[in-house]
Amino acid sequence: MSANGWFGCSVLEAPAAAREDLLAVHSAAHVDFVHGLCEAGGGAIDADTFAVPGTYEAALRAAGGAVALVDALLSGDAAFGVSALRPPGHHAERDRAMGFCFFNNVAVAARHAGLERVMIVDWDVHHGNGTNDIFHADPGVLFMSIHEWPLYPGTGPATDVGSGAGEGFTVNTPVPGGTGDLAYRSLIEHVAGGLIAAWEPQLLLVSAGFDAHRDDPLASCRVSEAGFAAMAASLRRAADSVGAPMGVVLEGGYDLGALARSMAALMPALVDEAAPSADPVELHPLAAQALERLTAYWPAAATP
């Protein structure tokens, strides 16, 4: 983004998240555990999640950046924005750090918003199990995930639709390895777009992992930079149509060149004053199957 003059955006330092914002999502015991582990010099939490002395501060700012993004969107200071911070967050559960994630940044930001209708679209190649579980019974947050299946962490079957009052507000759309631009674009355009039109969220947040890129070493999906740009454009058009500001929160992405190129490719779709013109995409069988599953809960959204 710096090579492109930040696309005309203001570049701000992320503040540390307030403890009360973290406690709206995580238990005090979990927050204190991460803090204490880092204070003691760090260490392993699980086979692939390690803390060092600076991890707690970094995780506070990753969550705080997402909160600051929401504040800017809801105050009218910005119509869009990106919280481009690590560590990522969507695997972090209420009481558990895992999958490189310590605090669930997008969940903390969604709770902080204090709105009746927040939608989170997670296109990271791994299922956002933490976000899924935190809002599982919450009808105020509509969570949609596109993720490779089977793959870490092994959650997110299409049959998981939420629970209690939140039944129908969890929309999991697992895809097989090798899935590329056409399927991802259709799932965003037809499924996510249909849900946005039907529910009219007041805020749209994107858990934007770039590990579904064809060059990423941790998965086998085949999305290109152009695919990510088209997905962002679809969401921008859908969000604009219901007057919802849109914020992007960075998640995974482990080929740094692919990550940088993908972010640079999608930024124009966000920064342009007018939403990008429609770029029709054919209804993919995976999206058609997802729409069929939605008929029980979202009949209006299930009409492509």
Q: Which residue among the candidates 26, 30, 90, 91 is catalytic per the annotation? A: 91
User: Read out DSSP for 26-77?
Assistant: S-HHHHHHHHHHHHTT-EEEETTEEE-TTHHHHHHHHHHHHHHHHHHHHHTS
213 is catalytic: no
Which SS3 state, helix, strand or coil, does residue 203 take?
Answer: strand
Per residue of the chain (304 residues), give pLDDT as tens. Answer: 999 999 999 999 999 999 999 999 999 999 999 999 999 999 999 999 999 999 999 999 999 999 999 999 999 999 899 999 999 999 999 999 999 999 999 999 999 999 999 999 999 999 999 999 999 999 999 999 999 999 999 999 999 999 999 999 999 999 999 999 999 999 999 999 999 999 999 999 999 999 999 999 999 999 999 999 999 999 999 999 999 999 999 999 999 999 999 999 999 999 988 888 888 899 999 999 999 999 999 999 887 5
Domains of the chain: 16-294 (3.40.800.20)
> Taking the chain, what is the end-to-end CA distance rounded to the nearest angstrom?
35
- Listed in sequence order, the residues at least 6 apart from 32 whose beta carbon sits closer than 8 Å to its beta carbon are none
The confidence score (pLDDT) of residue 170 equals 98
- CA torsion through residues 143, 30, 211, 173, sign: negative
